[in-house]
């Protein structure tokens, strides 16, 4: 299995950031990805301690750092989600980037499978998403870990509790709450309180910056 260093993955993020505020965009997506990687590592600890199951940590870390690489393709110059291809497509856009950059399929699947609890053909038909009619769901243990870890932090930026993340997904489709409960039973609820403290200043500063961009357009 080919390995990729954190520096190599960072350079890939740097290559694809864009818009009028590329450094801020990069900082937002990259730091979020690092936070998800930290949360995912705690889920690995839980699995080891609770079930004596040892996921491929290196794969989990790499997948977490790559999962949102497609976000750069789904925002305008002022960091707002765009209608086309639409933010819902950021996983597919990430898959395309990684395949273009010759990343293996098992890594390209992390962007593809992390949105919500996974996007199904039923979701696409019900919501009339502009996506190819197929399932975009996590199928390996490592994909599930990254998908679940991602639910505890957003790029807006904020940490989420399990209940808040579950409630947000249930507004989209009540069955997503069932899937979240399955994830909780399997992976527990990671304690992110120290991460909230660690990233508090960064989040407040980024939030202030994003707010200033919104106010400037009024």
What local confidence, expressed as pLDDT, does residue 108 receive? 98
Name the packing angle between helices 57-66 and 22-51 (round to 10°). Answer: 150
Token pair belonging to 44: 């690995």
- Per-residue CA distances from 30 to 12, 27, 33, 95, 129 (Å): 10, 5, 5, 17, 27
pLDDT, tens digit, for every residue of 55-114? 999 999 999 999 999 999 999 999 989 887 899 999 999 999 999 999 999 999 999 999
Give dist(CA 199, CA 19) in Å, integer.
Answer: 25
- To the nearest 10°, report the CA torsion of 121, 16, 211, 76: -70
Mean pLDDT, residues 187-210 taken together: 97
Full set of structural domains in the chain with CATH: 6-209 (1.10.3210)
pLDDT above 80 for 217: no
Give dist(CA 102, CA 107) in Å, integer.
Answer: 10
Give the model's confidence band at 1: pLDDT under 50 very low, under 70 low, under 90 confident, else very high. confident
pLDDT, tens digit, for every residue of 179-198? 999 999 999 999 999 999 99
Would you call 11 exposed, middle or buried from its count of C-beta atoms within 10 A (0-12, 13-18, 19+)?
Answer: exposed
Question: Residue 191's closest CA among 158, 156, 150, 162?
Answer: 162
pLDDT, tens digit, for every residue of 136-164? 999 999 999 999 999 999 998 999 999 99
What local confidence, expressed as pLDDT, does residue 216 receive? 79
Quote the pTM value: 0.97
Mean pLDDT, residues 117-121 taken together: 98
DSSP at 159: E
Mean pLDDT score across all residues of the chain: 96
What local confidence, expressed as pLDDT, does residue 218 receive? 65
């Amino acid at each position: 299995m080919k390995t990729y260093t954190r520096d190599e993955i960072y350079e890939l993020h740097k290559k694809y950031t864009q818009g009028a505020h590329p450094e801020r965009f990069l900082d937002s997506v990259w730091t979020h990805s690092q936070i998800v990687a930290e949360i995912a590592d705690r889920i690995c600890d839980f699995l080891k301690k609770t079930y004596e199951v040892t996921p491929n940590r290196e794969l989990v870390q790499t997948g977490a750092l790559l999962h949102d690489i497609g976000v750069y393709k789904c925002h305008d110059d002022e960091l707002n989600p765009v209608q086309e291809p639409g933010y819902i497509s950021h996983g597919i856009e990430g898959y395309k980037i990684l395949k273009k950059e010759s990343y293996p399929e098992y890594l390209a699947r992390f962007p593809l499978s992390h949105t919500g609890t996974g996007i199904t053909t039923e979701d696409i038909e019900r919501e009339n998403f502009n996506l190819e009619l197929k399932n975009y769901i996590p199928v390996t243990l490592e994909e599930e870990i990254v998908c679940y870890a991602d639910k505890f932090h957003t790029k807006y930026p904020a940490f989420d509790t399990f209940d808040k993340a579950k409630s947000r997904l249930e507004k989209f489709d009540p069955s997503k709450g069932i899937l979240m409960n399955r994830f909780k039973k399997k992976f527990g609820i990671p304690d992110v309180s120290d991460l909230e403290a660690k990233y508090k200043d960064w989040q407040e500063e980024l939030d202030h910056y994003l707010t200033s961009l919104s106010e400037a357009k009024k």
